[in-house]
Amino acid sequence: MTVTPEQSSPQDPTATPTITDRFVAANREYAVTFRDGGMDARPVQQVAVVACMDARLDLFAALGLELGDAHIIRNAGGVVTDDTIRSLTISQRALGTRAVVLIHHTGCGLLGLTEDFRRELELEVGQRPQWAVESFVDLDSDVRQSMQRVRTSPFLPHTEDVRGFVFDVHTGLLREIH
């Protein structure tokens, strides 16, 4: 069968590789030197980190984490939503973590967004999303609100060690929020 350009698949060597194709190639390289550390699913450092999905935030490097050390829960803003609580609950009750670290950052894409984003979305697609945008105007107060949501969750057995930070994307430094 003759393959026309329209039918070309990602496996077609003449096609321009997509980013996902590059991931697959990089993964083959990774697996060459990968060694199974023999860890189970419980994080070694018994900690869960909730952070923004921002592409400039390399949590392993910024926090000195090693593979297997921590649960990393990321979303837009690093906000504590019901789904974040779901992950933290499983992390603590099933997988033994006790500490929670929250990390927001300067220059966040959620800064300055408003709930208008939802209304505009509804006008465009004819359906209002179930979720809140969780936008914020003040980083420090949003970190405090996130810490409060963790500390007051009825589902979490360990809320004594909850700390929050703002990561500066220009200096790489964390600033603790009290």
Distances (CA, A) of 120 to 31, 82, 132: 44, 23, 13
Q: Answer yes or no: is 158 a known binding residue.
A: no
Q: How many CA atoms lie within 13 A of 105 on its CB side?
A: 26
Binding pattern for the stretch 44-63 against Zn ion, x by CB under 5 A and - elsewhere: --------x-x---------
Tell me the three state secondary structure of residue 127.
Answer: coil
* DSSP H stretches of helix in 12-81: 19-33, 59-63
Q: Answer yes or no: is 105 a known binding residue.
A: yes
Contact between 142 and Zn ion per CB under 5 A: no
Q: How far is the CB of 46 from Zn ion (least distance, A)?
A: 26
**From CA 118, how far away is CA 149, in angstroms rounded?**
22
Q: Answer yes or no: is 82 a known binding residue.
A: no
Q: Answer yes or no: is 54 a known binding residue.
A: yes
Q: Contact region for Zn ion (CB under 5 A) — 7-15, 64-72, 100-108, 143-151?
A: 100-108
**From CA 143, how far away is CA 115, in angstroms rounded?**
19
State which residue, 45 or 145, has the beta carbon closest to Zn ion: 145
Tell me the three state secondary structure of residue 174.
Answer: strand
Site size for Zn ion, by CB under 5 A?
A: 3
Which of 49, 99, 108, 162 is the binder for Zn ion (CB under 5 A)? 108
Q: How far is the CB of 53 from Zn ion (least distance, A)?
A: 7
Closest CA to 104 of 70, 67, 138: 138
Which residues are at the interface with Zn ion (CB under 5 A)? 52, 54, 108
**Residues tagged in the binding site annotation:** 52, 54, 105, 108
**Residues tagged in the binding site annotation for Zn(2+):** 52, 54, 105, 108
